[in-house]
Structure 1
Amino acid sequence: MSIRAQDVVPISEARARLTELSDEVVGGAEKLLTKNGAAYVALIDARKLDYYHALEAEHASLLLLAEADVALRELAAGERVSSDTLMQALTDR
């Protein structure tokens, strides 16, 4: 969803209109609050925030699975290092 000009609200104005802005957000809008003319925080529906967090967790899980897949393929291809070499590489950091 793109932010429309009417969805950009100075934080000083948002203080006085919080209930109204919250109702608009629950109705599907997203509000970008500005401070000194620059983006500062956003108001989004709490359910949408929960969804974003779930997506973030899913993405992290997919990245871990992809890394595990690469490691298993390398192991199956005989591309492995000894535990001594691994420990040495880890301590050199």
Structure 2
Amino acid sequence: MAISPEDIVPLSQAEARLTELADEVRAGHEKILTRNGEGYIALVDARRLDHYHRLEREHIHLTLLEEVDRGLDDIEAGRTMSVEELRAKYRR
């Protein structure tokens, strides 16, 4: 969803309008609160935030699985090192 100019609110106005802003966010209109004219924080529906966190965890798990797959490919191709070789390579 795109952010419209109405969704950008100075932090100084947010306190007086918090209930109104919360209702708008709950209805699907995320808000960007600004401080000194720059984006500062966002108001996001808690359910959407939970969804974002689940997506982030899924992304982390997929990235780890890709790393495991590359590691298994390295093993199959014989691209391995002994512990001693690793220690020597990364010793500083």
Q: TM-score range by the shorter chain?
A: over 0.9
Identity %: 51
Q: Which segment drifts farther, 50-59 or 79-88? A: 79-88
1:44 aligns with 2:48: no
Query: Could you say what secondary structure the match of 2:15 adopts?
Result: helix
In 1, the alpha carbon distance for the partners of 2:50 and 2:42 equals: 15
Equivalent residues in 2 for 1:1-93, closer than 5 Å: 1-92=1-92
**1:78 partner amino acid:** G
After superposition, give the CA deviation of every residue in 1:17-66 in whole Å (9 maximum; x if it has no partner). Answer: 00000000000110000011110000000010011011111101111100
In 2, the alpha carbon distance for the partners of 1:37 and 1:8 equals: 10
Structure 2 gaps, min length 5: none
TM-score (structure 2 length as normaliser): 0.96
**2:87 partner amino acid:** M
Query: Could you say what secondary structure the match of 2:78 adopts?
Result: coil
Report the RMSD for the aligned CA atoms in angstroms.
0.8
TM-score (structure 1 length as normaliser): 0.95
Query: Could you say what secondary structure the match of 2:54 adopts?
Result: helix
